[in-house]
Structure 1
Amino acid sequence: MTILFYDLVGSDAARPFSPHCWKVAMALEHKGLDYRAVLKRLVEVPEIEGGVSKTIPVIRDGDKVIPDSFAIALYLEEAYPEQPSLFEGPGGMAHARFIERWSQLTLHPYISVAALTALHAMQDDENAAYFRKSREARFGRPLEEVTASRDASLSGFRASLEPLRSMLSYQPWIGGEQPLFADYIVFGALQWARIATPYQLLEAADPVAEWFERCLDLHGGKGRSIAAAA
């Protein structure tokens, strides 16, 4: 049975950009499951599956509807144990949960600033109005002022990646010898930035950038199938 995967797009339906949806897309590819993306804009999210969640991703697998990227990964692991594992056991699940919190508290705050005006520009008129109103309420100032601060914080952002940089000197993937859901968590954040803005978050020689390039090639180049912002 084909899994329905609700994914987020702006005015261009060919450019899904949500970091959380990218985690799930990579997890579905990793598991080798048959799925179909159902594309939604920001203002349409509350209508998905009768309002099951205020955010996406959401999947429907038969009669089961699951919101939240981590919950979806856990569901896929349990429902399809014969397919390649996303966690390689309870320790991997705990490890991935730590990586998720680290990504949310370290990567997302800076990327949301650096890409903010670009993400706004990706929306159609109705969604752009919603995006501006909701994000300016969150940041307490105009979008343009928020993004203008990104240069001053770039070096600090790059320095914050040192734990990941150091770990990658010991192993090729966050998951160890092979990519796991923990890799897709961090990949999703950096793919969000890559699709939204040409602003260079990482230096080309950074081991994190090299790891990210390898992630783009996974699963037949799933991540690279969407061109980087120009």
Structure 2
Amino acid sequence: MGIILHELVGTDQGRPFSPHCWKTVMSLAHKGLPFDRNRVSFRDIPKLENGYSSKVPVIRDQDQLVADSFEIALYLEDRHPDRPSLFKGEGGRAMARFVEGYSQMILHPFINVVVLMAVHNLLDAPNQAYFRESREKIFGRKLEDVAAMRDAKREAFTASLEPIRKMLLSQPFIGGEGPLFADYIVFGAFQWVRVLTPYQLFDRGDPVQDWFERCLDLHGGVAREIKAAV
């Protein structure tokens, strides 16, 4: 039996949207490993694998369970050292930790605002109730009030991409000449938006948009197979 990836969807089974699950999709594809995708809702996650994890992604590799996209990438790297590397050594692992911090602390706060209502609207009634209660507790205000701040925050988000733009002047990927797990960390955040809403993250001609398009074409276009939201 091959690897099983448990990933998050709403009512549309063909639109997996979790940024963390997309990191794992790209990691598995990078390694050239076949896998099956088990798509579940928020409320289904605690039932998975006898309650193994409160969050997805989770992979089952025969009798081995691994949760968390970074831990999964490390597991795949160590389990399959003969396949294309996700890190290219300890320096790559350390770099990916920095990129993960940048993505979660700088990029995700704005993207959360962008996708908030799109996620809510994609869920069925029980999952909408769970999502609204849990997110309004985090934000301390109604979802609609949080989402209304989107356009006011966009300029600061655009500025926050400047380190990536500068890097892309000298190389096509965060990983250098080819992608590494560090690329998939940032890619997952932008794919989160792409599959949920037509909101334009990038200004025309932004090199980060060009990089994102290159990532969509990787590994036979596995990420582009999910059509962009309209």
Q: Deviations over 1:40-63 (max 9, x none)?
A: 100011111111111100001111
Residues 204, 210 of structure 1: 8 Å contact kept = no
Partner SS for 1:106? helix
CA distance in 2, matches of 1:57, 1:113: 22
Residue 204 of structure 1, CA deviation? 2.9
- Determine the C-alpha separation between the residues in 1 that align with 2:208 and 2:84: 25
Amino acid of the structure 1 residue aligned with 2:90:
P
The answer for the alignment partner of 2:183 in structure 1 is: 183
Aligned to 1:45: 45
SS in 2 for 1:17: coil
Q: State the shift of 1:133 in Å.
A: 0.9
Aligned residue type for 1:21: C
Amino acid paired to 1:101: G
Residue identity opposite 1:99 in structure 2: V
**1:166 match: secondary structure:** helix
The answer for the alignment partner of 2:12 in structure 1 is 12
Distance in 1, Cα, partners of 2:153 & 2:98: 24
Q: What does residue 221 of structure 1 align with?
A: 221
**Structure 1 unaligned residues grouped into runs of 5+:** none
Aligned length: 230
Conserved? CA contact 1:15–1:226, under 8 Å: yes
Q: Does 1:163 align with 2:160?
A: no
- Matched AA of 1:67: A
Cα offset, 1:126, TM superposition: 1.3
Q: Which runs of 5+ in 2 are unaligned?
A: none
**3-state SS in 2 of match to 1:65:** strand
**TM-score, structure 2 normalization:** 0.98
Q: SS of 2:65's equivalent?
A: strand
Root-mean-square deviation (Å): 0.7
Q: How far off its partner does 1:159 sit?
A: 0.2
Matched residue, 1:151: 151
1:60 paired with 2:60, answer yes
Letter of the 2:21 counterpart: C
- The Cα of 1:198 is off from its aligned counterpart by 1.0
Partner Cα distance (1:73, 1:10) in 2: 25
For residue 214 of structure 2, what is the amino acid of its counterpart?
A: R
The within-5 A match list for 1:15-94 is: 15-94=15-94
SS for the counterpart of 1:92 is helix
Instruction: State the secondary structure of the residue aligned to 1:13.
Output: coil
Percent identical among aligned pairs is 58
Inter-partner Cα distance in structure 2 for 1:13 and 1:54: 20
Runs of 4+ in 1 over 4 A off after TM superposition: none
Give 2:155's aligned amino acid: S
